[in-house]
Amino acid sequence: MKMKRGIIMNPGMIPAVVSLILIFAGSALQAQQEASLTVNADLGEKQISRHIYGHFSEHLGRCIYGGYWVGEDSEIPNTRGIRTDVVEALKKTAIPNLRWPGGCFADEYHWRDGVGPQENRPTMINTHWGGVTEDNSFGTHEFLDLCNQLETEPVVVGNVGSGTPEELSKWVEYINFDGVSPMANMRRENGREDPWNVVYWGIGNENWGCGGHMSPEYYAELYKRFATYARNYGDTRLRKIAGGANTTDYNWTEVLMKNIPHWMMWGLSLHHYTTWWENKGPATGFEEDRYFDVLRRCIEIEDVIDRHITIMDKYDPAKRVALVVDEWGTWYNVEPGTNPGFLFQQNTMRDAFVAGISLNYFNEKSDRIKMANIAQTVNVLQALVFTDEEKMLLTPTYHVFEMYKVHHDATLLPVDLVSGSYEFEGKKLPSLSASASLDAQGRIHISLVNIHPDEDSEMTIDLRGMEVSKVNGRILTSGDVGDHNTFSDPEKVKPEEFTDMKLKKSILTATIPAGSVVVLELF
């Protein structure tokens, strides 16, 4: 793939002066596209739930163990066994929720094995993920302590595949009941007086696959049984999420919407990964065909989700049931030499674009999509954070989540985008993706992604319906769309101030560089 800004050779291989001339010539010749965006600042109606910016962390590879949990005796700085650096980093993104313990792991997990004195906890085999021994040292108390330290809402996924309604019912009682009962008393004996009042509960995971290979009709019946006995205690009204479809399984959505009474289900989930199941390709060092195809698959999520939404609209025109995209993100081949069951992959600017485009789209659909969870936060799949013993680094995807936090709970502003195209071997994608919102302080935020690897977009942005006089911007870009952070160069990709713009009355002109994510603030 060509590098951006016309730099086609490694400047280190030629004398510095010549390389500077080449860089200058490359910049001058940089191709540009024309684009326009109208932001209707006075037409906002829908709220973007901050839960769209949610996370998923499973007992998988080094996500929990080594990622969050190092144990109290570790030399790595921690609070009650939970890494301080990871907590501090995620808090800067205002992480709104965390889904746990799986994933496929959830339907094999028996919560009682993960409470009580650590030395008495039984071990189990994590059959899905590498066949490793799980010692259950990270269980309910540790997870809810993590959520407390992160100041985030827990999303607990119950075991439907190999569990019972009684087991889930007792877990809810253990976590949420304030009075005297066998489970609440056991919680107190284990050191926690007050209930945690967890609101979000997943009723199983991927029950069409690793969660029991069920038919949608059978799962819908089971859902009703399990959900019935997951009780509300005190003022805590549970928001129960039905295990949803895989990608294009529209029949699953249809059957669940038809057969489960809507008052029993706060949300219906959907999983969509940007991947090829046969040959996932490398996370780094990819050629342009893979670059283009990953972004094509990312943009395709919009049609897939739109079809699920159409089915939901048929049964629920008032949009009472939330669509919960509780696993999404890129999925590549694991890094060479790492355990194939641990799903560890690098994270480049390409992943930042997938994150930016997906989040822009979720914002647009925020009247139906009320929650989404990227898979997975630390050291697994499209992670935000990598750890290596005592070291930690932030990925390009992290920076997108941090830059986009301005959209949390803001009012979505309708936009009209006219974009140029990114063409590869006769196929075309729009170069740009955009979303805008108005926050409680009256500031407009616009998030833009330019996936074109070589061409900038010269944008005219019309802020219709509001007077603004100031603009600030931040940009995430790098020399090459395959650039990424490593432990030897942890800040190669990081946000910078963006200044390439001019504001005149309510018209902003800005050059959105090839291969970039830009967030603008206007007030």
The residue (of 104 and 448) whose beta carbon lies closer to ligand AHR is: 104
Question: Dihedral sign, CA of 519, 387, 126, 276?
Answer: positive
**82 interacts with ligand AHR by CB under 6 A:** no
Binder of ligand AHR out of 101, 102, 195, 356 (CB under 6 A) = 102
Smallest separation, CB 326 to ligand AHR (Å): 9
Smallest separation, CB 327 to ligand AHR (Å): 5
**Would you state the structure tokens that stand for residue 365, as one six-digit string?**
């659909």
**Would you state the structure tokens that stand for residue 454, as one six-digit string?**
């070589």
Q: What is the total residue count of the chain?
A: 523
Which span (88-96, 99-107, 196-204, 427-435) binds ligand AHR, by CB under 6 A? Answer: 99-107
Catalytically annotated residues: 206, 327
**379 interacts with ligand AHR by CB under 6 A:** no
Contacts of residue 188, Cβ cutoff 8 Å, sequence gap at least 6: none
Alpha-carbon gap, residue 266 to 239, rounded angstroms: 5
The residue (of 102 and 513) whose beta carbon lies closer to ligand AHR is: 102
Smallest separation, CB 398 to ligand AHR (Å): 18
**249 interacts with ligand AHR by CB under 6 A:** no
Q: Residue 440: is it exposed, middle or buried by C-beta count within 10 angstroms (0-12/13-18/19+)? A: exposed
Which of 375, 333, 385 has the alpha carbon at shortest distance from 354? 375
**Would you state the structure tokens that stand for residue 270, as one six-digit string?**
């959907």
Footprint (CB under 6 A) of ligand AHR, residues 193-212: 205-206
How many Cβ atoms sit within 10 Å of the Cβ of residue 278? 5
Cβ distance 264 to 282 under 8 Å? no
From residue 74, give the alpha-carbon distance in Å to each of 69, 78, 82, 140: 9, 8, 10, 20
**134 interacts with ligand AHR by CB under 6 A:** no
Alpha-carbon gap, residue 212 to 371, rounded angstroms: 24
Binder of ligand AHR out of 37, 38, 50, 58 (CB under 6 A) = 58
**163 interacts with ligand AHR by CB under 6 A:** no
H or E stretch covering 158: strand 153-158
DSSP 8-class letter at 506: T
Binder of ligand AHR out of 67, 96, 101, 103 (CB under 6 A) = 103
**327 interacts with ligand AHR by CB under 6 A:** yes
Smallest separation, CB 273 to ligand AHR (Å): 7
For residue 381, the number of C-alpha atoms closer than 13 Å in the C-beta half-sphere is 24
The residue (of 210 and 518) whose beta carbon lies closer to ligand AHR is: 210
Which of 82, 110, 146, 41 has the alpha carbon at shortest distance from 508? 41
Alpha-carbon gap, residue 444 to 466, rounded angstroms: 9
Cβ distance 171 to 111 under 8 Å? yes
Smallest separation, CB 209 to ligand AHR (Å): 7
Q: How far is CA 7 from the centre of its chain?
A: 33
**245 interacts with ligand AHR by CB under 6 A:** no
**Would you state the structure tokens that stand for residue 388, as one six-digit string?**
């290596």
Smallest separation, CB 208 to ligand AHR (Å): 10
The residue (of 67 and 103) whose beta carbon lies closer to ligand AHR is: 103
**322 interacts with ligand AHR by CB under 6 A:** no
Which of 421, 273, 283, 274 has the alpha carbon at shortest distance from 344? 283
**104 interacts with ligand AHR by CB under 6 A:** yes
**301 interacts with ligand AHR by CB under 6 A:** no
**270 interacts with ligand AHR by CB under 6 A:** no
Which span (90-98, 101-109, 315-323, 440-448) binds ligand AHR, by CB under 6 A? Answer: 101-109
Smallest separation, CB 376 to ligand AHR (Å): 6
**364 interacts with ligand AHR by CB under 6 A:** no
The residue (of 134 and 206) whose beta carbon lies closer to ligand AHR is: 206
The residue (of 96 and 103) whose beta carbon lies closer to ligand AHR is: 103
Smallest separation, CB 271 to ligand AHR (Å): 6
Smallest separation, CB 420 to ligand AHR (Å): 35
Which span (92-100, 102-110, 160-168, 299-307) binds ligand AHR, by CB under 6 A? Answer: 102-110
**Would you state the structure tokens that stand for residue 235, as one six-digit string?**
């003022």
| DSSP structure string for 266-331 | SEEEEEEEES-SS----SSS--HHHHHHHHHHHHHHHHHHHHHHHHHHHH-TT--SEEEEEEEEE-
Residue of closest CB approach to ligand AHR? 103
The residue (of 383 and 429) whose beta carbon lies closer to ligand AHR is: 383
User: By rule CB under 6 A, what count of residues binds ligand AHR?
Assistant: 10
H or E stretch covering 508: strand 507-512
How many Cβ atoms sit within 10 Å of the Cβ of residue 169? 17
Which span (4-12, 135-143, 365-373, 374-382) binds ligand AHR, by CB under 6 A? Answer: 374-382
The residues facing 436 across adjacent strands are: 413, 446
Amino acid making up residue 31: A
The residue (of 327 and 483) whose beta carbon lies closer to ligand AHR is: 327
Which span (218-226, 287-295, 375-383, 455-463) binds ligand AHR, by CB under 6 A? Answer: 375-383
Which of 453, 498, 439 has the alpha carbon at shortest distance from 474? 498
- Rule CB under 6 A: which residues touch ligand AHR? 58, 102-104, 205-206, 327, 375-376, 381
